[in-house]
Amino acid sequence: MKALKPVVCAIGLVFSSLASAGPILIINGADQTTEVGTTSAVTANLTSLHEAVGNTVTVSNTILGDLSGFSQVWDVRFFNAAALDAGSQTTYQNYLSNGGGLFLMGENSSFMARNNSILSLIDMLGGGSLGFQGSCQSNQTVYAPFNEPNVVTQVNYSAAGCFDGTGTGQWITSRADGAQGSGLAFGVGSLTNAMAGSLTTILDVNFMMNQNDLPNSQELTKNLISFVGDQTEPTPVPAPASFLLLAAGLIGLRFSRKSA
């Protein structure tokens, strides 16, 4: 059995990697917006960063009827046509109540229909009755745990909106005095009407394009992915048949060598 140990360990690593991979849904509304270039850049960058950590990505224009197969949903729409209606808010509440991880993108005061729907959802989830601040400081402090594992202390948003408080959540980024900020996080247990889920939201789209305030914006995006992943249990990904065949072949080879 000693000779089998390296093979078993290798197989274990393969299965471990597969089991930890999370199915991710990115909702980008590509057919709803005139800002196609922004949406395309955000989608490409976010997809690349998720795949780099082993997640599998599905991209959709709109919210799917069944979100149960996804450990995380990243709704990166920011335009007014993507305001969350009552049905969408209920879908997201149910998803969070079942332990999902959700990211919502908002924007500045030109996109208040979208922003107000995010505020409404936070209130519905029991995260607090929050308001929007149109005059928002661009350069903001990044708070733990969003300042690691990729070190980033500040981010300079292009044209962000701001929340006027944290409710039951915590700042992702805010002014130095903490009076208002563009990023909020509600970890597991902080949303009284969806205790099993986690919600993160930032009122700026440009930071996720991998084009502005580099490397700070990119490090923040990576840390967001890390946080949401830590808050959710990944849905197991079945092992492909090729890996199973490889495992069986390697074990058989070891046995044949041992008997020879």
Helix, strand, or coil (residue 12): helix
Residue 130 near residue 165 (C-beta atoms within 8 A)? yes
Task: Give the tokens for residue 91.
Answer: 């879908």
The whole-number pLDDT of residue 56 equals 97
The whole-number pLDDT of residue 219 equals 98
The whole-number pLDDT of residue 85 equals 97
Distance from C-alpha of 232 to C-alpha of 216, rounded to nearest angstrom: 25
The whole-number pLDDT of residue 241 equals 45
The residue written with tokens 């998720």 in the block is 50
The whole-number pLDDT of residue 16 equals 35
CA distances from 24 to 40, 92, 214 (A): 17, 15, 25
The whole-number pLDDT of residue 60 equals 97
The whole-number pLDDT of residue 250 equals 47
The whole-number pLDDT of residue 232 equals 87
Distance from C-alpha of 57 to C-alpha of 72, rounded to nearest angstrom: 10
**From the first residue on, what is the mean pLDDT of each consecutive set of 10 residues in the chain (260 residues)?**
42 38 92 92 98 97 95 97 97 97 97 98 98 92 97 96 97 95 98 98 97 98 96 56 46 47
- How buried is residue 84: exposed, middle or buried, by Cβ count under 10 Å (0-12/13-18/19+)? buried
The whole-number pLDDT of residue 122 equals 98
Quote the DSSP letter at residue 216: H
β-bridge mates for residue 132, sequence order: 163
Domains of the chain: 1-21+239-260 (no CATH), 22-236 (3.40.50.880)
Residue 58 region, left (φ>0) first, then alpha (ψ -120 to 50), else beta?
beta
Going by C-alpha positions, the residue among 158, 156, 148, 187 that lies closest to residue 170 is 187
